[in-house]
Chain A
Amino acid sequence: MTAADLSLVKTEADALFARKRIYTVAFPAIVLAYFVYIFFAFDIAGLTKRANWDNAVTLASDSWSYKTHVTRDNRSGEMSYAVEGERKGAYPEGQRPDWVSGDDIITIDLGGDTIVRLLPEQRTEIEVPGFGLIEAQAEGRTITTNLSGDAPDWINASNRRVAITTPEGRVTITGSKTEVFNYFPGWELFWFTFDSPYHGHGVFEILLGDRIDPTRPNVAGAVSDWWNNAMWRHKDVAWAIGETILMAFLGTMGAAIIALPLAFMAAKRFAPVMIVRAATRRLFDFVRGVDALIWTVVLARAFGPGPLTGTLAILITDTGTFGKIFSEALENVDQKQIEGVASTGAKPLQRYRFGVIPQIVPILLAQILYFLESNTRSATIIGAITGGGIGLMLTQAIQTQKDWEEVAYYIVLIIAMVMAMDSFSGWLRGKLIGRRD
């Protein structure tokens, strides 16, 4: 190697290094500049103002706890006790929580020495440890209290409405009613509502104990009451999850069945006519490009909301995706096996069946099973748009902004569902085509 060659190599290497140096600075700089642009385009600075942290606190605390409402109608003096203040969660006539006592003077022990007394003539007394006794009197629409002007910020008092929030619970007093909220951890009435005879009985009592409801066997009755629980709607939730999985299953399998013959038409080796090939490929590109969102919108107009619409949206979109993947797999099949089958005098259809299909089945199955899992997620999202399955229940629960424990329940179920589908498809793949490693 001469000196001239060496210097040429050196200049080349120097140029390469210089280029690499520029890249290492330029690429992060471009990304950084893009993030700065996004910072302003998405108005990240204004986010802290728009964000509602009270919502976050409600969400975080409500998702793992529930509250029991004790309500006195200040007009009629009638008392009611209900979990979450819902009629479905109301205590039956003549029953009330054991932390409520007294007849003329109703004493509510919120715990931690915080005690609320509902006295006759619409009077209310609240004992808060470390603060003292708060007295309130409702007369018509006005509320008079013993609170002075400079109340702490956990008390919100006007002459129309008084709201007191303590760590143990909350009291709101208006002219029409006095409400006391007592918070407890857990998901109350998850198994049985108050109207079920099995409420308050343990597992062993139901399984092994005497018959609780004389008309039914314990297990059958308990399962039926749990299944028809009006508060948590286990039946509807199970149906919704079933619908979501159904959408994913039907959509994926239907798409695979339709895409397989079409893929032969799009593969160079099996479709010698250019026009057919190009037309099929454009068809795949088209249905894929239109996207599940638009298909959902269009199909919902024809079929109405429901699982069928979601199924068809997944089916149509994935026909395009599968068609593309399958035709690529078909392009790469080994010709030798087909020739071998042809040499035995096999007809074209037999050549496909025994020469081609066995070669592409592992790829096909792997893709189909992968899509089955990913479509379970898509079906949740499509369900939220088109109105079917667990996606819809989740959106409704979030939009009512009330039952965050139900939202948490649905989220847990959705994650469990997707993970179950993931491991199921992984297991099936292992059974059918063997583990990859």
Chain B
Amino acid sequence: MTDATLAAAQGRQTVDSIQTSYMAQVQRRRLYGGLALLIFVVLMVSGFNVADDRNAGGFWDGLHQIGDYPAEVLAEAWEKRADLPALIVKFFPALVETINIAAVSTLIGAAAGLILSLLSTRGLARWPRLIPVFRRSMDIMRAVPEIVIALVLIFVLGGGPVPAMIAIAIHTAGALGKMFSEVAENADLKPVEGLASTGANWSQRMWLGVLPQVAPNYLSYALLRFEINIRASAILGFVGAGGLGYELRNAMAWGPGRFDEAAAIFILLFGTIVFFDQISSRYRNRLTEGHNA
């Protein structure tokens, strides 16, 4: 009897202590969560103020002018709407150049990324000791913004599509290499071992044993990259690398009077991005969910 009450009291005590420690934990969690939120809000607000201060025009002054430029462009384009089809035809070669830059750099970058990824994946690497070297080099290739390489190459090679192509290809190799290697890490090694037992060399093992397993995922990532690279190649055009971005900068530099050209370029760029976005997301779904989806 005394034992039972003692046990019950002890039981209540432990429940109580568990509850208090739980409540203390919850409170501490809330406190930390609240503090983190507070720090985040302070960072956001002060960051916004700093950005606003260092900007040429203020946020609140500019806010109601946001629509002015698009309205001007649209009004002028609407006035000259008869010329618009002709302008679209005129800028079509520039669009083709922008897409070509993206396509070539995706192809080259994907090929380089493929090799780099296989060389830097544990279990597949040709030279396992060199894995860190290849990983680091991919990190650096990924970290360099395209504009850095593009500007330096424009200085050496002159303006045109080639600097942009090389710049985007280098970045693509680094970015795809990392994603490819994450996929390759999960590849089944049995086919590789089977091939090795027949005396296949490294490239045969990779080509016949690994690639068929990872190809759908690789293609899906490459398509996503292609979509990103179209945007990148348009932006690089703006700093002198040719294509649609270059034409846009020229049309903008003219200011009013050439807004119909700017409008035509906006339309082409928007249409292209949306088009490739839709196509790539459709094919990517098919690739990752099987052919019947």
A225 to chain B minimum Cβ distance, whole angstroms, is 24
A234, B285: Cα distance in complex, Å: 49
Residues of A within 8 A of B76 (CB): none
- Say which size band chain B's interface belongs to: 35 or more
- Chain B 129-169 residues near chain A, CB threshold 8 A: 139-140, 142-148, 151-152, 155-158, 160-162, 165
- Chain B 250-285 residues near chain A, CB threshold 8 A: 252, 266, 269-270, 273-274, 277
- B145–A377 contact, CB under 8 A? yes
Q: Which of B8-16, B23-31, B80-88, B230-238 contacts A (4 or more CB under 8 A)?
A: B230-238
A41, B95: Cα distance in complex, Å: 13
- A47–B62 contact, CB under 8 A? no
A318, B68: Cα distance in complex, Å: 23
Q: B273 touches which one: A47, A291, A307, A387 (CB < 8 A)?
A: A291
- B51–A308 contact, CB under 8 A? yes
Q: How many A-B contacts if CB must be within 8 Å?
A: 177
Q: For the complex, is B198 an interface residue (Cβ under 8 Å from A)?
A: no
- Chain A 269-317 residues near chain B, CB threshold 8 A: 285, 288-294, 297-299, 301-309, 311
Residues of A within 8 A of B50 (CB): 246, 307
Residues of B within 8 A of A249 (CB): 43, 47
- B48–A250 contact, CB under 8 A? yes
Q: A59 touches which one: B43, B51, B66, B156 (CB < 8 A)?
A: B156
Q: Which of B52-60, B113-121, B187-195 contacts A (4 or more CB under 8 A)?
A: B52-60
- B56–A306 contact, CB under 8 A? yes
Closest to B59 in A: A308
Q: For the complex, is A401 an interface residue (Cβ under 8 Å from B)?
A: yes
Q: For the complex, is B100 an interface residue (Cβ under 8 Å from A)?
A: yes
A304, B69: Cα distance in complex, Å: 12
- B151–A301 contact, CB under 8 A? no
What are 24 A-to-B residue pairs whose CB atoms are below 8 Å?
A42-B160, A42-B162, A51-B157, A52-B158, A53-B156, A288-B277, A289-B270, A289-B277, A291-B231, A291-B234, A293-B269, A302-B65, A302-B68, A303-B55, A304-B56, A306-B55, A307-B51, A308-B52, A311-B51, A381-B147, A387-B56, A394-B148, A415-B140, A419-B140
Which residues of B are at the interface with A, using a C-beta cutoff of 8 A?
40, 43-44, 47-48, 50-52, 54-59, 62-63, 65-66, 68-70, 97, 100, 103-104, 107, 139-140, 142-148, 151-152, 155-158, 160-162, 165, 231, 234-235, 238-239, 245, 248, 252, 266, 269-270, 273-274, 277
